[in-house]
Chain A
Amino acid sequence: MENLKSQVKFIHEIEIQEILEVANKKAQQIILEAKEKAETKKNQKAAKISEELNEKEQMDLALAERDSKNKLLNIKYHLYEETISKSENYLKIFTRKKRAKYASGLNNLIIEAAMRLSKNEFEILLNSGDAELVEANLKQLEGKISLLKGEQIKLRVSKETLNAMGGAIVRTIDKKQIYNNTLETRLAKFTAESGQIIMETLFEGANQR
C-alpha cells in the first residue's frame, strides 16, 4: 500500500513540474515575441522619422542653395547693368571730350559700314555734332574705301541727322541697303555677343559658382 501511495505522489509531482515548465516556456516565448515585435516597431518608427527628416533636409538645403544662387546672380546682374550704363556714359563723354581720337574711331566705323554694303555711292547719317568731323575727312574716307573695295566710290554726308550719341549709319543712295553702326547699336550688339567676356572681366578674381 505504501508503495502505491509513493507512486501516486511521484506521478503528481512529475505532472506539476511539466505544467510549470510548459507555462514558463510559453511565458518566455510571449515576452520574446513582444520584444522582437517592439524592436521592429521601434526601427520602423525611427526609419520613418529619419526619412521624413532627410526629405526635409533635402528640400531645405535645395531652397537655401537656390536662394544663394539667386542672390549671387542678382548681384552680378546689377553690377553688369551698372557697368553697361556707365559704359554708355563713358562713350558719351568720350565723343565730346576726346574729339580727335573719336574722329579716328568714327572714320573706322564709317569704313566698316561701307564695306558691308555693295554699290558705290553712299550716304552717311550722323548726329548734328559729328557732321563737321566727317565732312573734313570725306575725301580721305572716299580714298580709303575705294582702295579697300577696289573701285571708285562716292560718299556724302546726309542732311538728315541722327539722334544718337555717336557713330554712323551708312546707306546706299537708293536707300535699299543700310548698315547701322551707331554707338548705341554697337553697344547693344557687343553686350549681347560678348556678355561672357564682359562678365569674366567684371568678376575676374572672384570665386565663380
Chain B
Amino acid sequence: MVTNVSLEEIKSLVKLEKEADEKLELTREEAAKIIENAEETARKILKDVDEQDFSVFVHNRLSEIEEKKKSIEKETEQKAAELLENGNKNIEKTIRLIASLVLGE
C-alpha cells in the first residue's frame, strides 16, 4: 500500500523520535543516580557497623566479672573467719590429741 506522507509529518515524526531519545537519556541518568544512591547507602551501612559502639556491652560484662570476683573474695573472707573461729576453738583439743599420741597414751 502506498501512502502519501507529507514533509511536515516526517519532520514531526523525527522530532518525536528525538524527544523520546532525550527522555531515554534522562531516564538512564536517573537510573545511574538510583544506583549511586544505593551504593552510598550501602557504604554508610558498612561504615556504621565499623563505628558501632560496644562500650556499654563491654562495661556491663566487666562489671559482671568484677561482681563474681567480689563474690569469691567475700566467700573467702567468710571461710577464713570460719576457719579461724573453728581453729581457735579446737586448738586445745588438738594439742591434747597430739600430746596423747606423743606420750603413747
Contact = CB atoms under 8 A, between A and B. Distances in A.
Interface of A: 1, 4-5, 8-9, 12, 15-16, 19-20, 22-24, 26-28, 30-31, 33-35, 37-38, 41-42, 45-46, 49-50, 53, 56-57, 60-61, 64-65, 67-68, 71-72, 75-76, 79, 82-84, 86-87, 90-91, 94, 102, 105, 108-109, 112, 183, 186-187, 190-191, 194, 197-198, 201-207, 209
B104 A61 contact: no
Nearest to B30: A20
Nearest to A197: B97
19 contacts: A19-B28, A20-B30, A23-B30, A23-B32, A24-B34, A26-B34, A28-B38, A33-B42, A34-B43, A68-B72, A72-B83, A75-B80, A83-B95, A94-B99, A186-B104, A190-B98, A201-B93, A204-B86, A207-B79
B105 to A, nearest CB: 7
What 7 A-B pairs come out closest when comparing CB atoms? A34-B42, A27-B38, A23-B31, A68-B76, A206-B86, A12-B20, A79-B87
Contacts of B91: 79, 82-83, 86, 202
B52 A209 contact: no
Given A15-B24, A207-B79, 11 more contacts: A27-B37, A34-B45, A53-B61, A61-B69, A87-B94, A90-B95, A102-B103, A109-B103, A183-B102, A183-B103, A194-B101
Contacts of A68: 72-73, 75-76, 79
Main secondary structure, interface of A, reads helix
B83 A79 contact: yes
A38 B45 contact: yes
Contacts of B20: 8-9, 12
B94 A35 contact: no
B76 A186 contact: no
A8 B17 contact: yes
B28 to A, nearest CB: 6
Nearest to B42: A34
B38 A72 contact: no
Contacts, number: 197
B2 interface: no
A102 B32 CA distance: 110
B58 interface: yes
Contacts of A86: 91, 95
Given A23-B34, A57-B65, A186-B102, A207 B76 contact: no
B41 A203 contact: no
Nearest to A89: B95
Contacts of A206: 79, 82-83, 85-87
B95 A190 contact: no
A201 B100 CA distance: 14
A10 B29 CA distance: 20
B102 A91 contact: yes
A71 B75 CA distance: 12
